[in-house]
């Protein structure tokens, strides 16, 4: 992502945020924001959405380029996970391993289920190629050693976690946002000029207004497939 932003010098699909308690909560675009920070940007172009109109679903992770044994060994090294819970604590996810075995993962005693999500994902991230999917059935992924099927979250649960300063790992929450802005393709050069935010907002408004005047803005209410995102 850093290489793409450096070579393209423009932002295609702006990250999405919620306005929350006089701050902004990032709900889509964690990799883009991290890359911009690494490149030294103080500001980013974002789309502000309302939690009241979005729908939240969950990405699952199909793990390839690894083996079931390596996946299980990596997860066994993560603290605060319980693979044999009988206390009734809410599950975090179910892991279906090639070969037929399935495990339900719970937070360990005293652990918060949101706080253990990041180390859980990090546990297999270095030892597998992760493909996001909406299909939790292992049979739909014949090349996968395992599928991690996360428990569905609600918008209120995610907002509560963020208010408690708990960050969720990238690649789990999937916000369906009506009116999502795509292909903005705005140049990044103005963000490097040191102009005040008000001036940058005016520049962005003029860019969008110019696109509208040129008839280049389209609204597609139907579901679409994007083949080169």
The DSSP secondary-structure symbol of 127 reads T
Q: How many residues belong to the chain? A: 229
Q: Does residue 134 have a pLDDT over 80?
A: yes
Beta bridge partners of residue 94, listed in sequence order:
104, 149
**CA dist 202 → 63, 174, 198 (Å):** 44, 30, 6
Angle at 56 between CA 129 and CA 132, to 5 degrees: 10
pLDDT the model gives residue 44: 96
CATH topology of domain 2-54+177-213: 3.90.1530
Confidence of residue 85 (pLDDT cuts 50, 70, 90): low
User: At 197, which helix (H) or strand (E)?
Assistant: helix 197-213
Is 98 strand, coil or helix? coil
- Which is it for strands 173-176 and 55-58: parallel, antiparallel or unpaired? antiparallel
Put simply, whether the predicted model's pTM sits higher than 0.85 gets the answer: no
Domain ranges of the chain: 2-54+177-213, 58-153+165-170
Closest among 54, 7, 63 to 188, alpha carbons compared: 7
Mean pLDDT on 71-92: 84
pLDDT at 173 over 70: yes
Least confident of 50-59, 107-116, 202-211: 107-116
Report the chain's mean pLDDT, rounded to a whole number.
Answer: 91
| Residue among 182, 201, 181 nearest 190 (CA) | 201
- In this model, does residue 140 exceed pLDDT 90? yes
- Cα distances (angstroms) measured from residue 4 to each of 1, 129, 132, 195: 5, 20, 20, 24
**8 Å CB contact between 37 and 26:** no
Cα–Cα distance, 140 to 30 (Å, whole number): 27
- Find the radius of gyration of the CA atoms of the chain: 20
Higher pLDDT, 108 or 68: 68
CATH of domain 58-153+165-170: 3.30.1760
Helices 68-76 & 117-125, crossing angle to 10 degrees?
140
């Amino acid at each position: 992502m850093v290489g793409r932003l450096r070579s393209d010098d423009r932002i295609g699909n702006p990250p999405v945020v919620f306005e929350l308690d006089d701050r902004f909560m990032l709900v889509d675009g964690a990799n883009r924001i991290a890359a911009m920070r690494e490149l030294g940007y103080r500001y980013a172009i974002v789309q502000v959405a309302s939690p009241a109109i979005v729908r939240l679903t969950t990405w699952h992770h199909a793990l390839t380029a690894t083996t079931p044994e390596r996946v299980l060994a990596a997860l066994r090294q993560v603290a605060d996970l319980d693979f044999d819970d009988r206390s009734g604590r809410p599950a975090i996810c179910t892991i279906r391993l090639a070969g037929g075995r399935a495990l339900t993962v719970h937070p360990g005693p005293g652990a918060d289920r949101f706080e253990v999500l990041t180390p859980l994902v990090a546990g297999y991230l270095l030892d597998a190629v992760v493909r996001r999917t909406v299909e939790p059935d292992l049979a739909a992924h014949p090349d996968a050693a395992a599928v991690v099927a996360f428990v569905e979250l609600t918008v209120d649960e995610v907002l509560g976690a963020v208010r408690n300063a708990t960050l969720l790992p990238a690649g789990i929450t999937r916000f369906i946002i009506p009116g999502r802005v795509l292909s903005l393709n705005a140049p990044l050069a103005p963000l490097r000029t040191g102009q005040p935010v008000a001036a940058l907002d005016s520049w962005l408004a003029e860019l969008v207004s110019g696109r509208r005047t040129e008839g280049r803005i389209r609204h597609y209410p139907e579901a679409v497939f994007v083949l080169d995102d």
